[in-house]
């Protein structure tokens, strides 16, 4: 940090934060001429490509050890300083943020360091939401960080080895949450077990995989036809899908499930829950994976900013915080509201990238004393991997599944790698993923 310069500080090195940094880096000469420098602060030294994190948790189970873990991570995790190399004039600082003094315009780190800012972009991301379900946090595996994915992978490997030694009757995995992450992991994990069976490591009856979803459909944010295609695909892979079913509590070796609460006018017969007439049911589980929801980083609430029920910062359409015109929020921790539909922008990587792009533009506009631009609230194409070389693509009413959907997803991943990494680094990351992440196919 140059003491003579004014800082544009970005909290968080996720999708939104990196997009702000890269787009501001394109204006490096202008910013330096005005006395500004850009600084990204994150508690870790890497940027995580979370759409492929499930591959780390479920990939290459036959091969063990730190070398394989490192290879798996190399396809989803990139050092912030490597990204900074391709961003003119962008610096990075590792540190845990404990607060923000908006009056003195300083970001406070756990180390005691205080970083002054002229403009602040909060892109602190999201964390797993356990919804207060008893025992869930203590007895489940999340999938938000590198450590989460590696811990889950190790846990499953331990049970596979125990089964091979005859110490386990069956490996029982339950996944809570039928959104994108839950579906992706379930499909890939089923592929992993099937590959292990083909290799003679286990038998087909040695595993069970159950996906639990509280609503009537998996991928409920997509059209019903897409949900139906996904359900059939999961069932063909051997995944048991329980819909209209909630996790009531979690304990060390079992999970208590219950039919979801009825809405006004509904009867038990309305539900597709397999045990809808029962109050609750106990399932034995070796590994419980929770992908059932996220909420914004607790930093937003601790900072005293206006937030919605999911902890997301309330912004105007320019992505500025209502009470702080020099502070912007983007990504999973931001909640701009579409004035037409009254809906909040979804917590998607594509949305975070669009918000990051706008925040960078508006900072430049503000420095130049130009009018700010408003967020356009676009619709976003969705591509969900469904195991092997099969994905479902939903875009502007069109639904494509199978190999073509998988190719689109590969292109989307490569395009993102090119957007944040130097050319040959992007190629290396993509090729590594293509080599490792298809081994369950």
* Number of domains, the chain: 3
20 with 120, same domain: the answer is yes
Residue 3: per-residue pLDDT? 59
d(CA 355, CA 24): 13
Residue 269: CATH number of its domain: 3.50.50.100
pLDDT, tens only, 66-112: 788 898 999 999 988 888 766 667 899 999 999 999 999 999 999 99
Containing domain of residue 206, as a range? 146-290
Weakly modelled stretches of the chain, pLDDT under 50:
none
Which one of 312, 342, 367 terminates a domain?
367
**How confident is the model at residue 124, as a pLDDT?**
96
320 and 352, same domain (yes or no): yes
Say yes or no: 283 and 305 in one domain: no
Domain identity same for 281 and 361: no
Q: What angle do CA 50, 53, 59 make, to 5 degrees?
A: 160
Six-digit token string for 390? 């099969």
Do 205 and 236 have their domain in common?
A: yes
Is residue 401 included in any domain, yes or no? yes
Residue 88's pLDDT is 67
CATH assignment at residue 316: 3.50.50.60
Pair 172, 279 in one domain: yes
Two tokens at 270? 């309305």
Domain-embedded: residue 201? yes
User: What is the pLDDT at residue 310?
Assistant: 92
On whether both 167 and 244 belong to a single domain, the answer is yes
User: Which H or E run contains 240?
Assistant: strand 239-242
Q: Which helix (H) or strand (E) holds 120?
A: strand 119-122
Residue 77 lies in a domain: no
Given 315, 332, 367, which residue is the final one in a domain? Answer: 367
Indicate whether 114 and 248 sit together in one domain: no
Q: Are strands 207-212 and 239-242 parallel, antiparallel or unpaired?
A: parallel
What is the per-residue pLDDT for 301?
84
352 and 398 co-located in one domain: no
Tell whether 173 and 309 lie within a shared domain: no
The verdict on 186 and 247 lying in the same domain is yes
Query: Does residue 331 lie within any of the structural domains?
Result: yes
Exposure letters 407-423 (e unless 16+ CB within 10 A, then b): ebbbebbbebbbebbee
Q: Does the CA dihedral 54-56-62-64 come out positive or negative? A: negative
Residues with Cβ within 8 Å of 281's Cβ and at least 6 positions away in sequence, in order, are: 256, 257, 258, 275
Query: For 344, which DSSP code?
Result: B
Does one domain contain both 332 and 387? no
Q: Specify if 136 maps to a domain.
A: no
* 309 domain residue, yes or no: yes
The answer to the question of residue 54 being in a domain is no
Q: Is residue 177 part of a domain?
A: yes
């Amino acid at each position: 940090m140059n003491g003579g310069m004014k800082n544009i500080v970005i909290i968080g090195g996720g999708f939104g934060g990196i997009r702000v940094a890269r787009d501001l880096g394109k204006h490096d000469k202008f910013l330096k001429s005005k006395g500004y420098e850009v600084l990204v602060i994150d508690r870790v030294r890497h940027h995580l490509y979370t759409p492929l994190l499930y591959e780390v948790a479920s990939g290459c189970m036959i091969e063990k050890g730190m070398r394989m873990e490192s290879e798996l991570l190399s396809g989803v995790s990139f050092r912030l300083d490597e990204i900074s190399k391709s961003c003119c004039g962008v610096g990075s600082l590792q540190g845990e943020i404990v607060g923000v003094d908006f009056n003195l315009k300083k970001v406070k780190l756990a180390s005691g360091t205080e970083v002054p800012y002229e403009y602040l972009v909060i892109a602190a991301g999201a964390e797993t939401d356990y919804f207060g379900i008893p025992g869930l946090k203590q007895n489940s595996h999340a999938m938000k960080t590198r450590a989460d994915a590696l811990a889950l992978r190790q846990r499953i490997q331990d049970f596979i080895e125990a089964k091979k030694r005859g110490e386990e009757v069956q490996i029982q995995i339950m996944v809570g949450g039928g959104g994108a992450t839950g579906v992706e992991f379930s499909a890939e994990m089923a592929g992993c077990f099937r590959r292990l069976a083909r290799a003679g490591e286990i038998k087909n009856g040695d595993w069970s995989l159950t996906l639990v979803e509280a609503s009537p459909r998996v991928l409920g944010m997509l059209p019903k036809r897409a949900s139906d295609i996904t359900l059939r695909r999961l069932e063909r892979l051997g995944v048991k899908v329980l819909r209209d079913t909630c996790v009531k509590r979690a304990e060390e070796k079992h999970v208590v499930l219950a039919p979801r609460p009825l809405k006004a006018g509904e009867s038990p017969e309305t539900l597709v829950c397999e045990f809808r007439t029962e109050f609750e049911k106990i399932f034995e589980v070796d590994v419980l994976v929770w992908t059932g929801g996220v909420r914004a980083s607790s930093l937003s609430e601790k900072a005293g900013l206006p937030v919605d029920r999911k902890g997301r910062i309330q912004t105007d359409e320019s992505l500025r915080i209502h009470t702080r015109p020099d502070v912007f929020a983007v990504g999973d921790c931001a909640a701009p509201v579409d004035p037409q539909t009254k809906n909040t922008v979804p917590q998607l990587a594509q949305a975070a990238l669009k918000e990051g792009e706008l925040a960078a533009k508006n900072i430049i506009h503000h420095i130049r004393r130009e009018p700010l631009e408003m967020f356009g609230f676009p619709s976003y194409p969705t591509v969900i991997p469904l195991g092997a070389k099969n994905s479902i693509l939903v875009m502007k009413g069109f639904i494509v599944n199978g190999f073509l959907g998988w190719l689109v997803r590969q292109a989307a991943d490569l395009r993102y790698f090119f957007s944040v990494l130097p050319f040959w680094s992007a190629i290396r990351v993509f090729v590594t993923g293509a080599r490792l992440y298809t081994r369950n196919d």
